Amino acid sequence: MAQVPVSWFLSLSAVLFVLGVAGFVFRRNIITVFMSIELMLNAVNLSFVTFAYQRQAVDAHLFVFFVMVVAAAEAAVGLAIILTVFKNRATLNIDEVDSMKN
């Protein structure tokens, strides 16, 4: 067959998403955790674009656009927070940011 079924794209998206979650859950470095979040967002973008193809409408592309913008803003602010945390605690270990314990 010369054509790719749409469900393959969605499965790819699911796999990338789960990998992102795995990174989020299992890694201890804050920056790596952030990057896993970006990975999850990308996976979701892929599924949105797939749906746009499926429905032959451009609206989903707009959604992807906005997700990207928000992800960029979030990355900026989040990294600023990491910088501040690093300045105060001199650690990038996410397990040590636990003042909310109990």
CB of 81 to another protein, least distance (A): 6
Q: Residue 7 interacts with another protein (CB under 8 A)?
A: yes
Burial class (CB in 10 A: 0-12, 13-18, 19+), 74: middle
CB of 102 to another protein, least distance (A): 6
Q: Residue 20 interacts with another protein (CB under 8 A)?
A: yes
C-alpha to C-alpha distance for 85 and 58, rounded to whole angstroms? 41
CB of 51 to another protein, least distance (A): 10
Q: Residue 89 interacts with another protein (CB under 8 A)?
A: no
Closest CA to 53 of 100, 7, 1: 7
Q: Residue 86 interacts with another protein (CB under 8 A)?
A: yes
Name residues contacting another protein, limited to 52-71 (CB under 8 A): 52-54, 56-59, 61-62, 64-66, 68-71
Q: Quick one: tokens of 74?
A: 């979030």
**In 3-state terms, what secondary structure has residue 93?**
strand
